Copies of this chain bind each other. A is one copy, B any other.
Amino acid sequence: MTGFPAIDGRRLLARLDAFAAIGATPAGGVNRPALSEADRAARALLADLGAARGFSLFQDAAANLFLRRAGADDRRPPFLIGSHLDSQPTGGRFDGALGTLAALEVLETLEDRGIVTAGPVELVAWTNEEGSRFAPGAFGSQSAAAGALPAGWPETVGSDGARLGDELAATLAALPQAAMRPLGGPFAGYLELHIEQGPLLEREGALIGVVEGIQGTRWLEVAIEGQVAHAGTTPLADRRDAMAAAAAVITRLQTTVMPADADARLTVGRLTIAPGAVNVIPGEVAFSIDLRHPSGAEIDRLEAEITALAARIAAAGGCRASVRRSMDVAPARFDRRLVGIVEGAAERRGFASRRLFSGAFHDALFMARLGPAAMVFVPCRAGLSHNEAEYVEPHQAIAGAQVLCDATLEAVAASVAA
């Protein structure tokens, strides 16, 4: 395996333990909200570890944190690897941290071996990926992709009442040794290691997920309008029951969309019913649809199908349906060359892999809008994530970091020095 150095798996595991201690929960998980004291402690530890190896430290206006290892030609745009350090309130030890610390392991491995890369390689820890303290998530990578912070961002109020402007300023101020740099800017490529947060790899015995892209997500709000009437006196023929129509629409969608297309995801996660009395036939029901698919065209087709189907089923029950979009995030297709490099790296190591699309958002979704990006997935037990019981086997974490290292070296056209 000439030219592809082995990472230090034990060091990686020790780092995972060290960061899991910051915001550790009694149940073995992590509570490290974005821009909190715990988040700042994790950033400080990362900065210290980088400084100890001589890496340069940068921050930008979104408090994205960068550790830079110089390349032979340092004017080249950097190749970025990383993920995020913030967690859900009852999150796990690996979501975000694995990708960030594997990136550190890559930089340290290059340093250990004295490898000179053509251009610089940078670890990035994106700010507020989770969005659970300050909504929405992917604050850092979205701002980087947009080249600007979102309008009015400082006034965003957190779930704990904190003001985003204050917490971001305090976070930036906590690392005065970091040089400020502009948001966004050119980069040679972006690779992110992350846990799958789904069950596919584990079920198929694959060690590495070669991520081809991220599903597009469209949120629809379906409103069904019927007529309020007396539950006892109104016979079937006179009912215009909004709940009966809504249930029929949902049942129809559940039995068609996903069974027909293994790539489609359809979820009804919210439903409201009015007037909401046991003995009153509902006059209005509104429900959400979370619709995902790797193909934007297919999402369009499914929305049209849902709209037609809701109208038809509602009309059959004497009701009216309307469908409107409440959110729309286009799918990301990752860079074909980078995806191929990830797949080749897994193959060279003899790691069973499979290609897949991510069903969850990641910072890579937004980076893919700005330049070549791809992701590496490793399995997590039972697909469990955003949960204190989230778990990745040590050999799986190490394999993922190894593929990240190999793929990074290949992507930056490394030449081993001396």
Residues of chain A at the chain B interface (Cβ within 8 Å): 196-200, 215, 217, 219, 229-236, 238, 241, 243-244, 246-248, 250-251, 254, 258-259, 262, 265, 267-271, 273, 276-282, 288, 290, 292, 326-327, 358-361, 383, 385-386
Contacts and interface: CB of A to CB of B under 8 A. Distances in A.
A38 to B, nearest CB: 24
A219 B278 contact: yes
Contacts of A276: 269-270
B269 A359 contact: no
A283 to B, nearest CB: 10
A269 B251 contact: no
Query: Which 3 A-B pairs give the minimum distances between C-beta atoms?
Result: A198-B233, A232-B359, A233-B359
A192 to B, nearest CB: 16
A230 B386 contact: yes
Given A254-B247, A267-B231, A238 B290 contact: no
Contact of A268 (B233, B247, B383): B247
A235 B278 contact: no
Contacts of A277: 269-270
Contact of A232 (B247, B254, B265): B265
Nearest to A247: B250
B290 A279 contact: yes
A265 B231 contact: yes
B215 A236 contact: no
Given A267-B281, A273-B270, A278-B269, A244 B254 contact: yes
Contacts of A254: 241, 244, 247-248
Nearest to A265: B232
A159 B315 CA distance: 37
A230 B269 contact: no
A229 B197 CA distance: 10
A230 B273 contact: no
A269 B228 CA distance: 10
A217 to B, nearest CB: 7
17 contacts: A198-B235, A199-B234, A230-B360, A232-B290, A233-B358, A235-B262, A236-B258, A247-B247, A251-B251, A267-B280, A269-B273, A269-B276, A269-B278, A270-B278, A271-B273, A278-B290, A278-B326
Contacts of A234: 198-199, 265, 359, 383
Contacts of A262: 235-236
Contacts of A269: 231, 243, 273, 276-282
A217 B232 CA distance: 8
Contacts of A282: 268-269
A306 to B, nearest CB: 14
A219 B196 CA distance: 44
A198 B239 CA distance: 11
A317 to B, nearest CB: 9
A315 to B, nearest CB: 16
Nearest to A217: B232
A386 B233 CA distance: 12
Given A251-B248, A288-B278, A290-B279, A233 B383 contact: yes
Contacts of A235: 198-200, 262, 265
Contacts of A217: 232, 279
A186 to B, nearest CB: 30
Contacts of A360: 230, 232-233
A335 B360 CA distance: 65
A254 B233 CA distance: 16
